[in-house]
């Protein structure tokens, strides 16, 4: 964790504040739904099956488990969609800022530094950011390069 990096990065998130808040809420909802499933299974096994053998309790827990699974699916969908809606424009803004900065540096910099190394670093950092932020399991076969920016 580097506070300076977070502060510099927050500048790029600021124009998308509403999207970021919605994405954070979706991530929290997904995490809570994900955590509720094993807890409900534990309650079903320990309380309704092994404990009292109460069929009514087992039915209630089964319904709650179905609702939790549905909430898990819905929140997972919104989590992916909202995180992607934040990540794509932010990545684009960062890339535009990098290229804008490269246009402003003096010729002495390009004389001293092999331009291939700079471009490789820029695209490498961009690719690392994409891998860390964008959902990947929704990409089907043959869609690995189908992302828009």
Q: Mean pLDDT throughout 49-58? A: 81
Angle 58-59-64 from CA coordinates, rounded to 5°:
95
Closest CA to 80 of 28, 148, 146, 138: 138
Give the pLDDT score at 109: 74
**Cβ 48 vs Cβ 57: under 8 Å:** yes
**Cβ 44 vs Cβ 58: under 8 Å:** yes
- For tokens 């803004």, what's the residue? 93
Direct distance between the N- and C-terminal alpha carbons of the chain, in angstroms, rounded to an integer? 27
Percent of the chain at pLDDT exceeding 90 = 34
Report pLDDT digits (tens) over 20-45.
999 999 999 999 999 999 999 998 88
Between 84 and 106, the higher pLDDT residue: 84
Tell me the pLDDT band of 141, cut-offs 50, 70 and 90. very low
Between 115 and 9, the higher pLDDT residue: 9
pTM listed for this prediction? 0.66
Cβ neighbours of 61 (radius 10 Å): 21
Tell me the pLDDT band of 135, cut-offs 50, 70 and 90. low
Residue 43 tokens read as 């309650």
């Amino acid at each position: 964790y580097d506070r300076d990096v977070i502060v510099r990065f927050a500048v790029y998130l600021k124009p998308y504040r509403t999207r970021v808040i919605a994405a954070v809420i979706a991530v929290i909802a997904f995490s809570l739904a994900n955590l509720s499933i094993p807890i409900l299974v534990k309650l079903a096994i320990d309380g309704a099956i092994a404990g009292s053998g109460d069929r009514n309790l087992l039915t209630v827990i089964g319904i709650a488990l179905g609702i939790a699974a549905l909430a898990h699916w819905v929140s997972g969908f919104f989590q992916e969609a909202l995180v992607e809606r934040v990540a794509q424009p932010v990545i684009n803004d960062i890339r535009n800022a990098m290229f804008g900065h490269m246009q402003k540096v003096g010729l002495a910099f390009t004389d001293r530094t092999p331009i291939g190394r700079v471009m490789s670093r820029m695209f490498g950092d961009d690719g690392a950011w994409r891998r860390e932020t964008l959902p990947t399991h929704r990409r089907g076969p043959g869609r690995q390069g189908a992302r828009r920016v």
